[in-house]
Structure 1
Amino acid sequence: MIVIPSSFSQLVDSVKDINLSTRQQQTIGVITAAAVVTSYSLYKLWNQGPNDGCPVVPYTNPLNGSSAEFRKNPREFIQTWTEKLGPVYRVHLFGRLYTVVSGRYVREVFLNNNFDFFTGINRRFNMPLMAGIPEGEIPQEEGRKVVVKYLTPQLKYFTARAVENLNIGLKEIMGDLNEPKELPHMYPLVQRMVARASASVFVGTKLAKDDELVSVFQNITTDIGSMIRTESWLEPFASLLHFRMWAIGRFSSKVRAIRSKMTKTIGAEVERRLEAAEQNPNGWDRPVDVLQDLIENVNIPRGSDLITTIVNYTIALIFASIHTTSENGTIVLYRILQNPELMDELLEEQKEVLQRNGIDPEGAAKDVFTFEIVKDLPKLDSIVRESMRLRNEFYELPHSNVGNKKVVLSNGTVIRPGEDVLINTWYNQQYDGWDEYKVENDDRSEFKPYRYINTGRPSTKVGDDYLVFGEGKHACPGRWFAIQEIKTIISLLLRDYKVRPSSDVIFPTTTATAMPFGTATIEKRQRA
């Protein structure tokens, strides 16, 4: 017997904010029934797993498998079953049977072109679809190309404007700060700074002054993501989950408002630029930003138009950058707050580097924290890498076999077309039994701020034991920009403010969030 969670009314309740008509609700009912039956039937076929000898974590719940046990204590779950079953095994989580890959086998996934991360992540959390971007509208390689061709090569050029806008975002949150100020959480501060800087690079310095647009950049990921995060009951029903995500993108009033603001603001700027270029083709001062590169080079899908296409690409850029960079920056800040003695050491490093390069530390932020200066802070860079290595991550980076042939790992494990892999991130990044980079008497679960000094492994260098940005040729192409923003945020705070924890700093141990918690008191630094 098939049991539909909380009946059809739960689906109707979940789309109340979408303002559906009665006819649309009736259509949802029919599609829902078909989707549930189809999903359950295909579930029984898909989740048998090949007979290749790969061990499976035992489970009794036919729909959710080991999801509840895993979420209760993910670290204990992973350590127990990795030690029992070895580096490659299968586990039934989130309504699917995944092959979990650990240790040296992870590179066989990252380096194999049959595996695709975007397909894997979109099965559970399709943010572009929820933002109203039609499937296939932005080919995966085209999305990467925007970063590889238009952002990373110009990173040095973009540094000054990014630093200036990071500082603007900082001042917006801090205000005059005539008295010490307590922040209940560091994330909104980091998020505002990153949104300002990213907007200046993505859509230009003019639009980066539009507070409403910057707020859209700042909040779009959490605003849209929150619409589905709590609906774990949908996990076993792939078709129904996909339909729910499509319905959010198609009917949600919140999504419509976001897209309307972006279309109106970015569209007006696109039209202004096109008109200026047409009227004065030889003397036009061409803007240097990702927006201009898109105007000149983007491929417009059939049935779409230039402005809609640019808005879709911009949304995809935001999803790939602002929240993740803000989250990682927040994690680094809380590690420093947890170890406040590091602040004086980092401030001293900053002063030494500035003096060595003949830069006045009292100068404007964009003149002080140049591309070269931010890169030349080895203690800070080590802290960034170490903090991000210890992120609250467990089974992450889902990949799907999108090829038409089975993939056989070197240990004999078979992943058939359409099947999914999870990377055992916790094991590779934190497990003390990981041998390749193990040092005697070294606890890899412990935070050691200067672990990576003089190792030739900066915070942007990926590896089997550092998977924050993936690995191989499909590793995150925007990681240099993200790391530069994070290191600049820390440097600006240390230079201009005294920051101290005003409560215990708590790092989570569950799957609910990677974000640490704790209040902090900030006051102006009196500089000579």
Structure 2
Amino acid sequence: MQLTIPSSLDQFIGSVKDIDLSSRQQQTIGLITAATVVTSYTFYRLLFKGPSDGCPTVPYRDPIKGSSAEYRKDPRAFVEKWTKALGPVYRVHLYGRMHTIISGRYVREIFMNNSFDFHTGIEKRFDMKTMADISHSDVPINDTRTSVVQYLTPHLKHFTPRAVENLHLGLKDVLGTMEDGSVEIQHMYPLVQRMVARASASVFVGEKLSQDLDLIASFQDITTDLGSMIRFENYWLETFSFLMKLKMWAIGKFSSKVKKHRTTMLRSLTPEIDLRLSCAKDDPNWQKPNDILQELIDHAEVPRGRDIYTHIVNEIIVLIFASIHTTSENGTIVLYRILQNPELINELLEEQQETIEHAGLDPNGKSNEVFTFDTIKGMVKLDSFCREALRLRSEFYELAHTNISKQNVVLSNGTIIPPDGDVLINSWYNQQSNSWEEMRKDGEDRAQFKPFRYLNTGYPSTKVSDDYLVFGEGRRACPGRWFAIQEIKTIIALLIRDYKVRPTSDILFPTSLDTAMPFGSASFEKRN
């Protein structure tokens, strides 16, 4: 096998041209890359084959690409074939290195073990902090988790009214006044993304700043803008981890899009931070705003060499990465299931009206005040619908984890995960396969969409389990899932209350690795 260095270098340099690098910067990266490719190839000839622990391995011929091409061609067929042939734990050479695939009951041994870290695993292929020019030491992941666990989740009841109002504003931003009676939307993601960006901004930076449309645009677009700069059309780059890190570093340092979003956030947040610091110092009667921004100001531990403005912008950007795109994507998936099953809208609308009426509110009024924390929580059919829609996400080998300890981790079946060893969770098997008897109930087809499967089962859409890994599992499961689900349920509740929604094309759910989001257009017509 030959490694065609000039071709790869041409591809690499071409891939960074849209990062707005100068010629000198491109030349520097090219020289570094040339040395790296040659050195990396030497090491890749001695690829990690896994310890001698008896764990079966999917056979492959290419020592660089491994099984990546076969997996990408038809991920479901690949996962189904090798899980059936090799069992719940096996190894696959993907993305330029060996991964241990974990399925069934063994997933708990990964999620419950502090030696495994999700963020380290995911950042090997997609390091959003580096791409946003944020040092990992400046914003440790525990800071973000603390912001959600201590400042967001306990105050959801308080935040609900502003979140609902801003979800409604986001809806109007996209659909407009609809004076002509109806509007057709080609894809649901921009609609959901705008609504989530509006609502999240009102909670993260306060109600005043959530009216800053330039700031809202950055909340909405920064994650997708950065994601679009990591293109996997040819997929050769991901087999060389150092080159991936180099490209992500170049994006963070030189991309005009990154600079634009950071400048927008600094321009919007700096005067507000100054105002709050001044009021806290000089006005004894000042009432602190109740939002995440104020908590970040109060508890700021500014790293050496940084100012408080840049530090808080970095914290906010990481919160955006952790919330807006994932919630928007999940909300889009749920909305497309609604479009795929429009006959269920009336049943969900009836539940909404009954829940609001039971709370002593007017179900026929158009006020958004009827969507309280308790009424949203009380829509249990909608909740089951959400859980089922998210369970059937287009996912296969997901939730990358890395052993960050300095010791081998030995699973209960004897499989050894060495230090820096990589793990992928077989999400498709645990969430959708009919072969896993431990989770199959009464002969139900787990590959089928059954909207009320979880009604009255004690499994709301926020409850993690072995067969529902959308938010991870264990103590480090996503701490923001209660806010995310509340937003998603409110989006659906607002839409079906105020609009007649119908598909205007076939609704297509993906089966590839490119995206988990479905496709299809829909029309929205105001209800009388």
TM-score scaled to structure 1, two decimals? 0.97
Cα distance in 2 for partners of 1:18, 1:507 equals 32
The answer for the alignment partner of 2:128 in structure 1 is 127
1:438 matched to 2:449? no
Q: Distance in 2 between matches of 1:308 and 1:60?
A: 48
The answer to whether the Cα contact below 8 Å between 2:47 and 2:63 also exists between their aligned partners in 1 is: no
Q: Which amino acid aligns with 2:90?
A: Y
User: Could you list the per-position Cα deviations for residues 164-217 of structure 1 after superposition, in whole angstroms to 9, with x for gaps in the alignment?
Assistant: 100111111111113211111111111100000000000111110011110111
AA in 2 matched with 1:448:
K
Q: In structure 1, the residue corresponding to 2:399 is in which secondary structure?
A: strand
Alignment correspondent of 1:75: 76
Match for residue 410 of structure 2? 408
CA distance in 1, matches of 2:218, 2:192: 15
Q: What is the Cα deviation at residue 4 of structure 1? A: 2.6
1:61 Cα deviation after fit: 1.4
Q: Could you say which residue in structure 2 is the equivalent of 1:165? A: 166
Once the two structures are superposed, residues 148-172 of structure 1 have per-residue CA deviations (whole angstroms, 9 ceiling, x without a partner) of: 1111111111001000100111111
Q: Secondary structure at the match of 1:318?
A: helix
User: What's the counterpart of residue 137 of structure 2?
Assistant: 136
Measure, in 1, the Cα distance between the counterparts of 2:149 and 2:402.
23
Aligned partners of 1:147 and 1:478 also within 8 Å: yes
Partner amino acid, structure 1, of 2:18: D
Q: Contact between 2:403 and 2:420, CA under 8 Å: does it hold in 1? A: yes
Q: 1:365 to 1:130 in 2, by over 3 A?
A: farther
**Structure 1 residue 447 displacement after superposition:** 0.2
Runs of at least 5 residues in structure 1 that lack an aligned partner in the other structure:
none
Contact in 2 for aligned 1:39/1:238 (Cα 8 Å)? no
Match for residue 54 of structure 1? 55
Aligned to 1:472: 474
Asked if structure 2 preserves the Cα contact closer than 8 Å seen for 1:201 and 1:289, the reply is: yes
Q: 1:113 to 1:5 in 2, by over 3 A?
A: farther
Whole-angstrom CA distance in 2 between matches of 1:115 and 1:477 = 17
- Show the counterpart of 1:156: 157
Could you tell me whether the CA contact under 8 Å between 1:110 and 1:472 is conserved in 2? yes
Higher mean alpha-carbon deviation, 357-366 vs 170-179, is at: 357-366
Which residue number in structure 2 is paired with residue 251 of structure 1?
254
Number of matched pairs: 525
Q: SS of the counterpart of 2:70?
A: helix
Verify the 8 A CA contact 1:17 1:253 in the aligned structure 2: no
Aligned position for 2:503: 501
Q: Read off the aligned partner of 1:273 and give its amino acid letter.
A: R
2:310 counterpart residue number? 308
Cα contact 1:55–1:89 (8 A) shared by 2: yes
Report if aligned partners of 1:336, 1:343 keep a CA contact under 8 Å in 2: yes
Assess, with a 3 A threshold, how the Cα gap between structure 1 residues 259 and 456 changes in structure 2: closer, same or farther.
same
Deviation at 1:276, TM superposition (A): 2.0
> Does the 8 A contact of 1:161 with 1:366 survive in 2?
no
SS of structure 2 residue aligned to 1:235:
helix
1:330-376, Cα deviation, whole Å (9 max, x unpaired): 10011111111110000000111111111012445441000000000
| Other-structure match for 1:523 | 525
The more displaced of 422-431 and 173-182 is 173-182
Moved more, 434-443 or 123-132: 434-443
Residue 15 of structure 2 aligns with which residue? 14
Tell me, in whole angstroms, the C-alpha distance in 2 between the residues paired with 1:82 and 1:12: 38
Would the alpha carbon gap of residues 5 and 80 (structure 1) be closer, same or farther in structure 2, given more than 3 Å must change? farther
Where does residue 266 of structure 2 map in the other structure? Answer: 263
TM-score by length of structure 2 reads 0.97
Aligned partner letter, 2:83: T
Tell me the residue number matched to 1:200: 202
List gaps (5 residues or longer) in structure 2.
none
Per-residue Cα deviation, 1:294-334 (whole angstroms, up to 9, x for no partner): 00102111211111111111111111110110111110011
Give the equivalent residue in structure 1 for 2:425: 423
- Give secondary structure in 1 for the equivalent of 2:124: helix
User: Map of 1:271-310 to 2, 5 A cutoff?
Assistant: 271-280=274-283, 282-310=284-312
Specify the code of the residue in structure 2 equivalent to 1:360. Answer: D
* Structure-1 separation of matches of 2:8 and 2:46: 24
Secondary structure at 2:331 match in 1: helix
Counterpart residue number, 2:103 = 102
| Contact 2:44–2:63, Cα closer than 8 Å, also in 1 | no
Give, in angstroms, the shift of residue 285 of structure 1: 1.8
Structure 1 counterpart of 2:67, one-letter code: S
In the aligned structure 2, how far is the partner of 1:215 from the partner of 1:54?
A: 48
Query: 2:477, 2:44 → 1: CA distance?
Result: 31
AA in 2 matched with 1:261: T
Instruction: Report the counterpart of residue 188 of structure 1 in structure 2.
Output: 190
Q: Corresponding residue for 1:390? A: 392
Distance 1:396 1:81 in 2: 16
Match of 1:196, SS state, is helix
Counterpart of 1:124 in 2: which secondary structure? Answer: coil
Q: CA deviation at 1:40?
A: 2.7
- Give percent identity, aligned residues only: 62
- How far apart in 2 are the matches of 1:436 and 1:366? 43
Between 75-84 and 299-308, the greater mean CA deviation after superposition:
299-308
Of 174-183 and 443-452, more deviation after overlay is shown by: 174-183
Letter in 2 for 1:219: D
Cα deviation digits, residues 34-86 of structure 1 (max 9, x gap) = 32233333334452211111110011111111111111111110000000000
Distance 1:291 1:347 in 2: 36
Per mean C-alpha deviation after superposition, the further-off stretch among 62-71 and 377-386 is: 62-71
**Residues 84-123 of structure 1: CA distance to partner in whole angstroms, max 9, x if unpaired?**
0000000011111100000000000000000000000000
Q: Distance in 2 between matches of 1:473 and 1:365?
A: 38
**Which of 371, 374, 378 does residue 373 from structure 2 map onto?**
371
Letter in 1 for 2:352: Q
SS at match of 2:398: strand
The question of whether the paired residues in 2 share the 8 Å contact of 1:330 and 1:515 is answered with yes
SS of residue matched to 2:236: helix
363-372 or 261-270, larger mean C-alpha shift: 363-372
- 1:5 to partner: Cα distance: 6.7
The residue correspondences of 1:479-498 to structure 2 (distance < 5 A) are 479-498=481-500
> Letter of the aligned partner of 2:189 in structure 1?
Y
The amino acid that maps onto 1:24 is Q
Distance 1:7 1:504, change over 3 A: closer
Q: Is the 8 A contact 2:21 2:255 kept in 1?
A: no
Distance in 1, Cα, partners of 2:121 & 2:413: 22
